[in-house]
Amino acid sequence: MQTPLPYWRLSGFYFAYFGFVGAFTPFWTLYLKSLSFNAFQIAILMSLFQVARSFSPSLWGWVADRRGHRVPIIQWLAGCSLLAYLGVFFGESFYWLFAVMLTLSFFWSASLPLIEAVTLGHLGDRLDRYGHIRLWGSIGFVCAVVGLGYALQYAGMAALLWVIFILLGAVWALSWRLSDPLVTLQRESEGSLWAIIRRKEVMALMAACFTMSAAHGVYYTFYSIYLVDHGYSKGVVGWLWALGVICEILVFLNMPRLTAMFGLRRIMLGSLFLAFVRFFVIGWAVDVWWLIVLAQILHAATFGSYHAAAVALTHRYFKGKHQSKGQGLYTSISYGVGGTMGAVISGFAWDSIGPSWTFTASALCAMLGFIFFMFMMRKD
């Protein structure tokens, strides 16, 4: 008999967590630019979150699986993230912000795979409801990105610092409303962790996740700057980010139906191919507003269906006592190593070969993942 699902407690945490992401990711680059940092410095600072994702989720996932309790670790990480962020109010130099953002990213980046494991543990065999919980994170993102898009036009960049502080405080407060699922300590698993990683389909999944996140490196680092430089207002930039996430919400709501119709393999392949289309369009049609709108609609595939499929496949292959480590590995390889490479390389390319060719390179990276996954991943 399954225990009642703590729907609103989980949903509230996702709402605040991705509210922070909605405030930080689109607008922090604009804040850094306002401090007169160049493209390479901005890319380095933004890549710190991806660098931390290369090792922090796996580290804390291993600790969580060893202890058998994930929620106390989530609470600790949320509190340390809030304390680390306070450093932004005490300095604006490149090296000071480097230290602050590196510390913040070390604690922050490990929370998501742990809350994913907690959520999936509570769901049990009700995995079709994952999208209905995760969509609240997307709603939080939309509220933050739209509201800040207009607020920054009138209140200036100083407002961003305080909004992010409030959102981090909300994440910490809501973490105390979470509880571990009763089935956290499953001891059965399909072999050792290394035996799971060496499976052909797992390597195909991780390679696809790596290339998808690398392809997004330039998007998360320079997209807002790119649009503002081409005459889009901060309010419009906020709505464009929000549009993509609204489409993502629709995907989360319909993911059970999509999975039944196409299977996870085809969904992942479609997501990778549409990422190729999306970034190519952004690179060469930035001045054609309706094409940029269509490109943002494709966020439903390049993040929405991609992330839901990747989490489900990771949960399928990493079972029992390896659940937190599996989600941590997915985060580390994709958003960590892949995201870091994408962000850093885009920092070099942005000034040397130009924005259009940088986005073209990211499109080709997604196509490489499509080809690899198509030949390596076995059919559903």
Residue 185's pLDDT is: 46
Structural tokens at position 315: 């949960």
Residue 281's pLDDT is: 98
- Please tell me the total count of domains within the chain: 1
| Per-residue model confidence as pLDDT tens for the chain (380 residues) | 456 789 999 999 999 999 999 999 889 999 999 999 998 899 899 888 888 888 888 888 788 877 778 899 999 999 999 999 999 999 999 999 999 999 999 999 888 889 988 898 888 777 778 888 988 999 999 999 999 888 888 888 889 999 999 999 999 999 999 998 875 444 444 568 788 888 999 999 999 999 999 999 999 889 999 999 999 998 899 899 999 999 988 998 898 899 999 999 999 999 999 999 999 999 999 999 999 999 999 999 999 999 989 988 998 888 767 777 788 788 889 888 898 899 889 988 998 999 999 999 999 999 999 999 999 887 76
Structural tokens at position 160: 């961003």
Per the domain annotation, does 293 fall within a domain? Answer: yes
Model confidence over 75-98: pLDDT tens digits? 999 999 999 999 999 999 999 999
Contact present, 216 and 342 (Cβ < 8 Å): yes
Per the domain annotation, does 2 fall within a domain? Answer: no
3-state secondary structure string across the chain: CCCCCCHHHHHHHHHHHHHHHHHHHHHHHHHHHHCCCCHHHHHHHHHHHHHHHCCHHHHHHHHHHHHCCCHHHHHHHHHHHHHHHHHHHCCCCHHHHHHHHHHHHHHHCCHHHHHHHHHHHHHCCCHHHHHHHHHHHHHHHHHHHHHHHHHHHHHCCHHHHHHHHHHHHHHHHHHCCCCCCCCCCCCCCCCCHHHHHCCHHHHHHHHHHHHHHHHCHHHHHHHHHHHHHCCCCHHHHHHHHHHHHHHHHHHHHHHHHHHHHHHHHHHHHHHHHHHHHHHHHHHHCCCCHHHHHHHHHCHHHHHHHHHHHHHHHHHHHCCHHHHHHHHHHHHHHHHHHHHHHHHHHHHHHHHHCCHHHHHHHHHHHHHHHHHHHHHHCCCC
Residue 2's pLDDT is: 54
Per the domain annotation, does 224 fall within a domain? Answer: yes
Per the domain annotation, does 348 fall within a domain? Answer: yes
| CATH at 308 | 1.20.1250.20
Per the domain annotation, does 86 fall within a domain? Answer: yes
Residue 129's pLDDT is: 80
Per the domain annotation, does 11 fall within a domain? Answer: yes
Per the domain annotation, does 129 fall within a domain? Answer: yes
Per the domain annotation, does 1 fall within a domain? Answer: no
Structural domain span for residue 14: 7-376
Residue 76's pLDDT is: 95
Residue 183's pLDDT is: 54
Cα-flanking dihedrals φ and ψ of residue 176, to 5°?
-80, -5
Residue 216's pLDDT is: 95
